[in-house]
A and B are shown apart, each in its own frame.
Chain A
Amino acid sequence: MKVKLEARQISLEYGRPASNSRIVALSGIDLTIFENEFVSIVGPSGCGKTTFLSVVDGLMPATSGQVLVDGVIVSRPGPDRAVVFQDSSLLPWRTVIGNVIYGLECAGATAAMARERSQHFIELVGLSGFEDRYPYELSGGMQQRVNLARALVMDPQILLMDEPFAALDAQTRELMQEELLRIWSEAGKTVLFITHQIDEAVILSDRVIVFSARPGRVKATIDVPFERPRSLRLKRSPRFHEIEDRIWHLIQDDAPRSHLLAGNP
């Protein structure tokens, strides 16, 4: 298997002049993700999951350590990676298609080509017929579909997903998980997925990485052995619960500390 994404000894600290202190958000994170692998990171709130994702995307510089894509060090956002943000971050003055097109537009694609590509991905995420709606006319689930299409249309090799379903209700979330599994199997991407929902991490991933409470460190890596394609019915099986339980205990060990520190998620 080919290594797609590698994080080497990523640490991140920042100063807090107001309280005259320094905060260590991430401490020596090593992580290797193979091509077309689906990896989730779970951990107590405030453990730096989202911060780590920002470092991988190049939005935030690490204090030390490197991120490598295909063995090449990256330090800024690039077309090889695309983020699906936690809040949909849609441009409220643009329609669905206007939002999906946004990344292509920034990359300098011609309008006709961009529209055609976007149309394809709008169909893929199941939003045909909503091209000309504005974000406020869409439900939370639909907004996240746009968010996903906007990332997919860039044809990135690596998809970075930051708790994309956290704000959705339970039913919509399960529906989106199913959709994501379908899209992932069709599109064939390497995915780094951040979540605080253990069952979500297990159902989606090949591997689940457990982060410890602040400072964020890799505490454990759990392989998820289930065959693909997976159906959501898997969530009812004893084997699934067993894995869920293991992860739950790993996170739980850290939880009391993290509650005290959870001021800044």
Chain B
Amino acid sequence: MTIAAPQAGGNSIPTSTPLPRERYAAFERPILGALALTIFLLFWEGVARGWWADLLHPILGSNADALRVRPIFLASPSTIATSAYSMLFETGELWPHLGLSAFEFVSALAIAVTLGVPFGLIVGRYQYLSYAVEPLLAALNATPQIALLPLVVLWMGTGVAARVFIIALLMIVPIVISAHAAVRTIDARLLRLARSFSASEAQVFKTIILPASFPYLLAGLRLAIGRGMIGIVVGEVYGSAVGIGVMINRAGSTFKTDRVFVGVFTIVIAGLLLSELVRRLERRVGVWRESAVDVQ
């Protein structure tokens, strides 16, 4: 669907209303985004309901049935929406799952940030520590932490603590790495300035290292959020009775694909909301950062 764009010819006559083309240009991003999403959902709905199979039957004959997918394999967007509505507002069964998973996520995030940020900053500050810890960090980064899950279960059982642990483990890696990298890239001239003013080590951390690292820490946080979402689903595979991950697993094994998607979309929406939150924080610190290039 395109909007006919009238050609703006030569010298424009001053008018108070923008041209339709200008109006479109201002909203091009949301319009195209929404359009693609709508087409995708329509296509999906069609697959689940056999629209495309019916449509192509005259041409392809019985081959067209390949385009017909049974609901136990793929629920349609409308069914998913109906289930989501019912689970949220009629039976309300989604809330306990959401509550526990949110609790696990937030606890793990708090642990990962309170341990990871100071650790990364301190290691980054002192060259000898940095040299000593860098190989370990590289190895930890290369490790798929999810693979340690059986070990974690062995050590900590299958309770909430074990799941918080594995989620925190997933999250702390990008947090430590970004904090470490942030300190290593701080402008040496600013550190020299602090030294020239006889700043104490604590003052150096407070006035130079922390504010200079903040944008990097947010970038690390963004990565951590994505990994934490994976942790929620995978971490709840063992033993848990409640949680979004449990709900997804259970729905999958009973062929309730609509409920699988309700779980998946819950995580998608939570992830998007958290990313948006980080983006807003980034924009706030960007007050000075966006034009930092001009200073040089």
Contact = CB atoms under 8 A, between A and B. Distances in A.
Interface in B190-225: 190, 192-200, 203, 207-208, 211-212, 214
Contacts of B56: none
A232 interface: no
A83 interface: yes
A105 B196 CA distance: 13
Contacts, number: 69
Interface residues of A, number: 28
A76 B198 contact: yes
B295 interface: yes
Nearest to A103: B197
B197 A77 contact: yes
Among B190, B196, B287, B294, find the residue whose CB has the most chain A CB atoms closer than 10 A: B196
B235 to A, nearest CB: 37
Contacts of B280: none
A244 B71 CA distance: 91
A89 B189 contact: yes
B192 A136 contact: no
Contacts of A87: 189
Interface string A70-114: 000000111100110101111111100000001101110000000
Given A89-B189, A90-B295, A107 B197 contact: yes
Interface residues of B, number: 26
Contact of B211 (A91, A137, A143): A91
B195 A59 contact: yes
A92 B197 contact: no
B8 interface: no
Given A91-B207, A93-B211, A136 B288 contact: yes
Nearest to B204: A106
B291 interface: yes
A116 to B, nearest CB: 19
A164 interface: no
Among A79, A89, A134, A154, find the residue whose CB has the most chain B CB atoms closer than 10 A: A89
Contacts of B57: none
A163 interface: no
B285 interface: yes
B10 to A, nearest CB: 38
A135 interface: yes
A200 interface: no
Contacts of A154: 197
Among B197, B199, B200, B214, find the residue whose CB has the most chain A CB atoms closer than 10 A: B197
B289 interface: yes
Given A90-B295, A91-B211, A93-B211, A57 B289 contact: no
B196 A92 contact: no
A85 B189 contact: yes
B269 interface: no
Contacts of B194: 106
A103 B194 CA distance: 8
Contacts of A106: 194, 197-200, 203, 207
Contacts of B189: 85, 87, 89
A103 B288 CA distance: 20
B198 A92 contact: no
A239 B107 CA distance: 76
Given A59-B192, A89-B190, A136 B203 contact: no
Interface string B161-199: 000000000000000000000000000011011111111
B193 A92 contact: no
Given A103-B197, A136-B292, A89 B192 contact: yes
Contacts of B291: 134, 136-137
Which A-B residue pairs are the 9 nearest by beta carbons?
A136-B291, A106-B199, A106-B197, A103-B197, A93-B288, A92-B288, A89-B193, A89-B189, A93-B211
